[in-house]
Amino acid sequence: MIALASHCLLFELAGGERVPFAADMVSTDLMGETARWLDPEFVNHAAAAVFHWFKHDLGRQTVTVAEFAEALEKVLRGLRLEPPLPDRPASALSSAVSDLGELVRASGEGCELLFFPRLRDELRRQLLQGPRVLRFNGLRRCVKHLVGARRWSARCQSLEEQIVAYLRECLGAEAKPAEFALVVE
């Protein structure tokens, strides 16, 4: 028996045949209206994220093509792709607050795959108001919910760091006032 490469997943086809694929080998064909408004590269990145979720987060070795397609569709629907955001208003608020606990509850099941796009959307929405300070509350509660933990663990700590790094990265890509502070607590 030949061992499966560590970076591959076995995709079970409808006929029962199993074919090994690496994340970069998964391709998607967009048809109809979808092909006009979704960038193929964007969809390939989403497919790679779903691949990673099955392989590393769920620890799966085999996945059916139907399962993979369903998860990818759920992620793309969860992104709620919208036209570019309008320019920020000239008036600036002193601060804005968002509750990470509410965002994670709104993400439902499928948690991390849907949570991060919603977090980015919330950051953009709050930045449109032009605050000097943007506060995200409930980080520990949010992390424990995503991990499914009652007590803080090393996995919780790692996810907490990922969320903060993601917020910083998203913030770096957005227009913000010169004197701006992001607080995550």
Tell me the pLDDT tens digit for each residue of 25-80.
776 655 555 556 667 777 778 888 888 888 888 888 888 888 888 888 788 777 65
Helix/strand/coil for 173: helix
Question: In terms of pTM, does the model score above 0.85?
Answer: no
Q: What pLDDT sits at residue 49? A: 86
Between the CA atoms of 87, 90, 94 and 97, what dihedral angle is there, to the nearest 10 degrees? -20
Alpha helices in the chain (DSSP H): 33-37, 40-52, 65-78, 100-107, 111-127, 139-147, 154-173
Taking the C-alpha atoms of residue 153 and residue 184, their distance in angstroms, rounded to an integer, is 19
Cα dist. 96→15, 100, 108, 133, 138 in Å? 53, 13, 24, 6, 14
Q: What pLDDT sits at residue 18? A: 86
Q: What pLDDT sits at residue 75? A: 81
Helix/strand/coil for 108: coil
With both helix axes pointing from N to C terminus, report the angle between 40-52 and 65-78 in degrees, rounded to the nearest 10.
Answer: 120
Q: Running DSSP on this structure, what letter comes out for residue 177?
A: -
